[in-house]
Structure 1
Amino acid sequence: MSCSSSSASEEEDEGMESYRKGGYHAVRMGDSFNAGRYIAQRKLGWGQFSTVWLAYDTHSSVYVALKIQKSAPEFGQSALHEIEVLSAISDGDPSNSKFVVRLVDHFKHVGPNGQHLCMVLEFLGDSLLQLTKYNRYKGLELKKVKEICRCILTGLDYLHRELKLIHTDLKPENILLLSTINPSKDPIKSGMKPILERPEGNLHGGSTMSLIEKKLKQRARRAAARISGRQPSTGGVGSNAKPERCLEGIDLRCKIVDFGSACWGDKPLAEEIQTRQYRAPEVILQSRYSFPADMWSFACTAFELATGEMMFTPNVGQGFSEDEDHLASMMELLGKMPKKIATGGAKSKDYFDKFGDLKRIRRLKYGSLDRLLVDKFNFSDSDAKEFAEFLVPILDFDPVTRPTAQQCLQHSWIDIKNID
């Protein structure tokens, strides 16, 4: 979950059944935390482990994101790990210039459902996934992609080279703009006055229950509209109802967030890391992974920003698994995997024969990234060639030869001197 912003999950509610011993803490608008320092303003979203609230910091007079973990011991353990990682990130970046989310504070809060670990993070804006949705899944112009990539790479270089941290789940949802796309959602730009106490005469004002009731009513209205054949236009892909979105004036600077599954380079936590579409081949094959796995995810993210589509969307098929389809898709785009890589992982025998060929997907349609960019996404030949020259080395099947974030920042495609 994008832990520090308005981009946290809002599609569905988290369900009242999770508000019990060991579960979420019920928050009402105007509730105070940490001896009155933080006042809850509104809910930003929720994740499997926590809810996230916009809060007002009465000490520094700024808005922050308050992440309240579920109270069961296993959730507390994961929060302690995240606090350790975020503290190291903040301690190593006193000037807050490395494009990685900043931890402001952390504390424990005791409620009816138990003791909850809480993290206070700087308030950020929408995720890059929401930016792509806002732009109706059309690719951003390359000048804007370069601007965003510079921020991500600066953050990755700091994490990898200085802190020796692997993020392990880099993707558009986990990279947040510094401010909201819609200024009315930004508490500062919208001129929002902070709520400093719980509203009088409205015991349920802004409560978790009333938010859920509101969601249920919205869902009922949408269902009624569908039944009556008055399905509202979503303004999504293919909708001509609105003119083109204008991205001018949107601040594209962004930060890497969500360090719940991050690990130190010398202490990998889990065999399977990364969200499926951004997963590196060494993770699928269970070879050893390290910082280059984040670089693979970065390349997939950069492609998605430039085209509006995911680079890899593997599926289960007749007689083959999602993993095998994923490996086949990689090879169709990037060429045959070297035998030593294909056969070198703990799970290699599940997918490859001893010659380094896939066992169940025998016919591959080989192409190239630059041709895909021209033929499917209407890039000019020169733009496709330059972008592919930047991306293809980062998508090397051998993680050892992938360029580092520091090297990518010096590449001619992204170097600041070459951005007009």
Structure 2
Amino acid sequence: MIAPLSRWLLRLGRQSPSPPRSYLNQNFEQIGEGQMIEEEHYLVISLHGSILVRRHVALKVFIRSRSLSTEAEHELNMYKRLDQGSSKHSGRDALRRLSVSFKISGPDGKRQCLVNSPLWHNMRTFLAINPAGRLPKPVLLATLQRLFIALDYMHNECNLIHTDVSATNIMFGFIDDLDPAFAEFEEENIRSPSPRKEVDGRFIYVSRDLGQPKGLGLPVLCDLGNVVDGQVKHIRDIQPDVYRSPEMILGISWSYGIDIWNVGFMRASAPSRDDFYASPPLELIARGGHREKFFTEEGVYLESSHKS
């Protein structure tokens, strides 16, 4: 049974560091040229030099394709934009940061790689494994506070809109980079390697869950793949139907407020979408290009649109 998460969040003292570990070549398989590693796999890599030291990281390797190459460049640029905000703003630490980026050569060209600090479960996974099905109140309040601080930094310091705030993109970190969960993960993989299969010369592995941290860090907002510039108005669809804001449904241009809508929609206690909605302001409805599909001229919701 997982210990109450609120106890971990309130535990501010750092854990004692684990002793240095030795990694023998025969215990690990070398990454082949062009082989893909999914971001959720946690590795220990040795970066030789006088500045970088050995530590645990999350490594994201992009697939080589025209569309994903553009996606990789976009995500890297968004990380750079986030570094341009004020270093004094507390929201910087509430966002996932990029440790380093580099490219590797594969059989079909270069691939972009992003290195981040490792994270544990996201909020959705925690809710799924928590028997109560919801966050304890202290954890919920701490998470919302961190989330709004992160968005304030993105909006006001960097002029960026996240557009994809959801329970899957809020993840909990580790207090210590040498948390015992990493050593346990490595040892378990040595004792019982993950099942794998070879497809076209490349290995595909079954993901292995990273165990419960000894010291859980504060939540951070992740995933910059859908971030857009906040200095211009947007009209394109960016949300699944079930999460769409009134502006998007009515065909109205949207901006920073879309992130706040997504935060509100994350509430886990709502039994249904019907309970969540109230009538939008008439001024907002009047601006909508698709208003006749959903509302009468008096702003009354059309039941037929709900059934369709």
Per the normalisation by structure 2, the TM-score is 0.70
Structure 2 residue 303 is the aligned partner of structure 1 residue 338: no
| Structure having greater relative contact order (Cα 8 Å, sep ≥ 6) | 2
Q: Is the 8 A contact 1:283 1:289 kept in 2?
A: yes
Q: Contact between 1:300 and 1:310, CA under 8 Å: does it hold in 2? A: no
Tell me how far apart the structure 2 counterparts of residues 140 and 214 of structure 1 sit (CA, whole Å): 29
Alpha-carbon distance in 1 for matches of 2:70, 2:234? 13
Deviations 1:126-164 (CA, angstroms, capped at 9, x unpaired)? 101111112135222222211111111111111111111
Please point out which of 288, 294, 298 is paired with 1:355.
Answer: 298
User: Residues 113-262 of structure 1 correspond to what in structure 2 (within 5 A)?
Assistant: 113-136=108-131, 138-179=133-174, 188-190=179-181, 192=183, 209=198, 212=204, 251=216, 253-262=218-227
**Identity rate of aligned residues, in percent?**
20
Deviating 4+ runs (over 6 angstroms): 204-208, 247-250
CA distance in 1, matches of 2:78, 2:205: 37
Letter in 2 for 1:65: A
Q: Give deviations 1:305-330, integer Å, cap 9, x for gaps.
A: xx3x6763xxxxxxxxxxxxxxxx3x
Tell me if structure 1 keeps the 8 A contact 2:235–2:253. no
One-letter amino acid of the structure 1 residue matched with residue 30 of structure 2:
G
Match among 244, 247, 253 for residue 279 of structure 1: 244
1:61 matched to which residue of 2?
A: 54
Q: Hey, what's the Cα distance between the residues in 2 that align with 1:213 and 1:106?
A: 24
Deviation at residue 205 of structure 1 after TM alignment: 8.9
Q: Is the 8 A contact 1:144 1:252 kept in 2?
A: no
Q: Which runs of 5+ in 1 are unaligned?
A: 1-27, 34-39, 46-51, 216-246, 313-328, 365-420
Instruction: Give SS of 1:190's match.
Output: helix
- Give the aligned partner of residue 107 of structure 2: 112
Does 2:64 correspond to 1:75?
no
* Runs of 5+ consecutive residues of structure 2 not aligned to the other structure: 1-27
Question: Matches of 2:107 and 2:42 in 1, distance apart?
Answer: 18
- Residues 43 and 363 of structure 1, relative CA distance in 2, 3 Å threshold: closer
SS state of the match for residue 99, structure 2? Answer: strand
Q: Offset of 1:347 from its aligned partner?
A: 2.3
The answer to whether the 8 Å contact 1:57/1:64 transfers is no
* Alignment correspondent of 2:24: none
TM-score scaled by length of structure 1:
0.53
Q: 1:89 to 1:351 in 2, by over 3 A?
A: same
**Aligned-pair CA distance for 1:80:** 0.7
Residue type at the aligned position of 1:167:
H
CA deviations 1:41-73 (Å, max 9, x no partner) are x7554xxxxxx6635252322211111111111
1:133–1:102 Cα change, 3 Å: same
Amino acid at match of 1:82: E
Partners of 1:363 and 1:63 in 2: how far apart?
49
Query: Which residue of the other structure, out of 265, 270, 277, is the alignment partner of 1:300?
Result: 265
CA distance in 2, matches of 1:191, 1:251: 13
Q: Kindly tell me: are residues 136 and 73 of structure 1, through their superposed partners in 2, closer, same or farther at Cα, counting changes over 3 Å? A: same
> What is the distance in 2 between the residues matched to 1:112 and 1:187?
35
TM-superposed deviation, 1:345: 1.8
